[in-house]
Homo-oligomer: A and B are copies of this chain.
Amino acid sequence: MQNVKVIIWGLGAMGSGMAKMLLKKKGVEIVGAIDIGAKLGKSMYELVGVERGNRADVIVGTPEEVIKERCADVCLCVTDSFTRNAFDKFKFVLEKKINVISSAEQMAFPQAQEPELAKQIDELAKANGVSILGTGINPGLIMDLLVVVMTGCCESIDHVVSRRVNSLSPFGPTVMEEQGIGLGVDEFKKRVEDGTMAGHVGFHESINMIAEAIGWNVDKVTQSMDPIVTDVDRKAPYGFAKAGDVAGVAMKGYGYIDGEVKIEMDHPQQIEPEQVGVNTGDYVIIKGTPDINMVNSPEVPGGIGTIAMVVNMIPQIINAKAGLQTMISLPVPRAIMGDMRDRIDPECKIVK
């Protein structure tokens, strides 16, 4: 069998990380890379900082230059957070009869906030005999799929809390700015009001994925965003919050089922949590038969986790039935320590 052939669309921090991870794996090769601006025409190997060795070079190009019909088994689209913004890219790839994995948060369960686009994407994929999946660490695993898996050993479920307490300290200046690190509380509130505080994208998707998986109908989803005000000065590599100012964002999400909150999301993100005795971790707390009280501590780091989830789902999306897939419609994610080709159903391989 030929190597699994991958195109990466978007060589930011996540796309570059996926390239580096793929270059360490057996039975898979990167056959194309797409980006814009100054990266065009450059060698992907130079951009991601990996020795090319005796591999053929991969020159960053436009979609039209890189994507030819059935030239790859999968394209990793690592460009957007919102389905709407990425839709034309998906369309372009699917119509070239190539499978897609997207890291867009909304694509983890586009049925939640973009049902009409989800339907179009499903139809496009089916019409072209390929499949498309959105995944990442969260949404994609921690606050949704992991909850679903643990409901699997329950006879019944009354209530779910999914909590991710994580540190923003490893992130760069963009994230510090997006999350309002160092702002005064009034300024933070103003930005929440005018909608310029990004926060976490994914509560609608995670809540709807869990509900769909276990058979609950969601009436509505609400969410809130509050400042985490620090009592002490906190200094991270790329962010600083003085005592009294904002050291992070506490987001909560509520999924209503039959008029009651039955699914809660709790996701406080801050710099230097350990300076104030906050233990980071990923929590699954289920009230049901039986109760589940699970924690992974410290939390799975967001960057590595997203890179790994997208790469590790490549075999599953190649083997999948045509159409829009989700993490609850496919076999479980898993690390790839052997030859990636060992996992591919020969009938599903695009580049034979």
Chain A interfacial positions (CB closer than 8 Å to B): 21, 24, 137, 141-142, 145-146, 148-157, 213-217, 282, 284, 288-290, 292-298, 300-301, 304-305, 307-309, 311-313, 327-339, 342-343
List the number of copies, as a whole number: 2
Q: Does the CB pair B292–A300 fall under 8 Å?
A: yes
Please provide the 10 A-B residue pairs with the shortest distance between their CB atoms, ordered closest to farther.
A215-B338, A152-B333, A151-B335, A294-B296, A153-B305, A215-B337, A213-B334, A214-B335, A154-B335, A214-B337
Contact: B293 with A297, CB < 8 Å?
yes
Could you list 23 examples of A-B contacts with CB < 8 Å?
A: A24-B155, A141-B152, A145-B149, A149-B334, A152-B333, A153-B308, A155-B307, A156-B335, A157-B335, A213-B332, A213-B334, A214-B337, A215-B339, A215-B342, A216-B338, A282-B294, A289-B308, A292-B296, A292-B300, A293-B296, A327-B332, A329-B331, A332-B332
Q: Given A328-B332, A329-B331, A330-B331, A300 and B153 touching (CB < 8 A)?
A: yes
B214-A334 in contact (CB<8A): yes
- Please, how many angstroms separate the alpha-carbon atoms of A330 and B288 in the complex? 24
The answer, among B289, B307, B339, B342, for a CB contact under 8 Å with A304, is B289
- In the complex, the chain B residue whose C-beta lies closest to that of A309 is B153
Closest Cβ–Cβ distance, residue A227 to chain B (whole Å): 28
Tell me, in angstroms, the Cα distance from A154 to B337 when the chains sit together: 10
Shortest A213–chain B CB gap in Å is: 4
How many Å lie between the Cα of A78 and that of B317 in the bound state? 34
